[in-house]
Amino acid sequence: MLVRMTRITVIRGDITTQDVDAIVNAANERCLGGGGVDGAIHRAAGKKLVEACKQLPEVAPLVRCPTGSAVITPGFQLPARFVIHAVGPRWGMNDAPALLASAFRTSLDLAEREGLKTIALPAISCGVFRFPVGQAARIAADVSRERERALDEIRFVLFDEDTCDVFGRAFWGDAWRTSPEA
């Protein structure tokens, strides 16, 4: 019997340049762009991305994607075919760790439902939402490993070396730099 193994990688890089089936956008509930990863993805994808996001139905006034969930759009001018917009919590919100786990989980679940095989994720909520990077990395590692997935690769793409190191250690401990996945 063959056992499917999802490859997990952690790299330093620019998520907008990743040649994968989908990249995950650290979005806000409106899904209309913002700063950090969200702004970079919207700029790289082009104006059609915001138009596609405007077509997403509001589930509450000014909310197209509630905190802890994810929605999908085409990638337009990105190398990735799709953008999965995941809304993580602001640090200090009630149930922030559970909401962040849900944002990571629903992103991976959505990729599987769409039949995608490769996905790149950022450090959701660790920028302007101020979630502690170490705690976010442990949550990302736990969610990525909680069950076998029908994905070939889950790639965490972190913008700076410090964040990359924290995520690498969350997955592989002190040996992460010698891991073949690193």
Query: Residue 49 falls within a domain, yes or no?
Result: yes
Specify the higher pLDDT residue, 177 or 71.
71
Tell me the per-residue pLDDT of 110-146, one tens digit each, with 9 for 90 and over: 999 999 999 999 999 999 999 999 999 999 999 999 9
Residue (of 102, 157, 100, 104) closest to 132 by Cα position: 100
Catalytic residues: 38
Token code pair at residue 16: 């907008």
Q: What is the CATH number of the domain that holds 136?
A: 3.40.220.10
Decide if 108 is inside a domain: yes
Please report whether residue 2 resides in a domain. no
Residue 19 lies in a domain: yes
Query: What is the residue range of 41's domain?
Result: 7-178
CA dist list (Å): 73 to 23, 134, 176: 10, 29, 33
The per-residue DSSP string of 15-50 comes to GGG--SSEEEEEE-TT-S--SHHHHHHHHHH-HHHH
Measuring CA to CA, which residue among 135, 134, 136, 99 is closest to residue 121?
136
Residue 94 counted as domain residue: yes
Reported confidence tier of residue 181, pLDDT bands at 50, 70, 90: low
- Tell me: the pLDDT tens digits for 11-57? 999 999 999 999 999 999 999 999 999 999 999 999 999 999 999 99
What is the tally of structural domains in the chain? 1
Angle 38-18-128 (CA atoms, 0-180°, nearest 5)? Answer: 25
pTM confidence score: 0.94
In a domain, 80, yes or no: yes
Domain assignment of residue 174, yes or no: yes
- Domain presence at residue 146: yes
